[in-house]
Amino acid sequence: MLTIEGLTKTYKTGDKALKNVSVSVPSGQVVGLIGPSGAGKSTLIRCINRLVEPTSGAVKMGDSDITRLSRSELRRARRRIGMIFQEYALVERLTVMENVLSGRLGYVPFWRSFTRRFPQESVDKAFALLERVGLGDHADKRADALSGGQRQRVGIARALEQDPELLLVDEPTASLDPKTSRQIMRLILEICRERGLPAIINIHDVVLAQDFTQRILGLRAGELVFDGAPDALDEAALTRIYGEEDWTAMRRRSGDEEPEHHSEREMVERLEGLA
Q: How far is the CB of 193 from another protein (least distance, A)?
A: 23
Residue 272: which of 30, 24, 31 has the closest Cα?
30
Comparing CB distances to another protein, the nearer of 165 and 211 is 165
By C-beta, is 164 or 230 nearer to another protein? 164
Residue among 20, 78, 72 at smallest CA distance from 48: 78
Tell me if residue 52 falls in helix, strand or coil.
Answer: coil
| Terminal alpha carbon distance of the chain | 16
Rounded to the nearest whole angstrom, what is the least distance from the CB of residue 177 to another protein in the complex? Answer: 21
Closer Cβ to another protein, 104 or 215, answer by number:
104
Residue numbers at the binding site for another protein (CB under 8 A): 49, 51, 75-79, 81, 83, 85-87, 89-94, 98, 102-107, 110, 113-114, 155, 158, 162
Where are the strands (E) in the chain, listed by range? 2-10, 16-25, 30-34, 56-61, 64-65, 81-84, 166-170, 199-202, 215-220, 223-228
88 torsion bin: left (phi>0), alpha (psi -120 to 50), beta (else): left
The CA distance from 168 to 176, in Å, is: 18
Instruction: Compare residues 98 and 211 and give the one whose CB is closer to another protein.
Output: 98
Q: Are 254 and 70 in contact (CB under 8 A)?
A: no
CA distance 78 to 149: 25
Q: Which is nearer to another protein, 104 or 220 (CB)?
A: 104
CB of 86 to another protein, least distance (A): 8
CB of 102 to another protein, least distance (A): 5
Instruction: Find the shortest distance in angstroms from Cβ 169 to another protein.
Output: 12
Residue type, 242: Y
How many other CB atoms are found less than 10 A from the CB of residue 225?
15
Pairwise CA distance, residues 98 & 100, whole Å? 5
| Least Cβ distance, residue 132 to another protein (angstroms) | 19
Cβ-based nearer residue to another protein, 110 or 259: 110
If the CB atoms of residues 11 and 228 are measured against another protein, the closer one turns out to be 11
Q: How far is the CB of 79 from another protein (least distance, A)?
A: 3
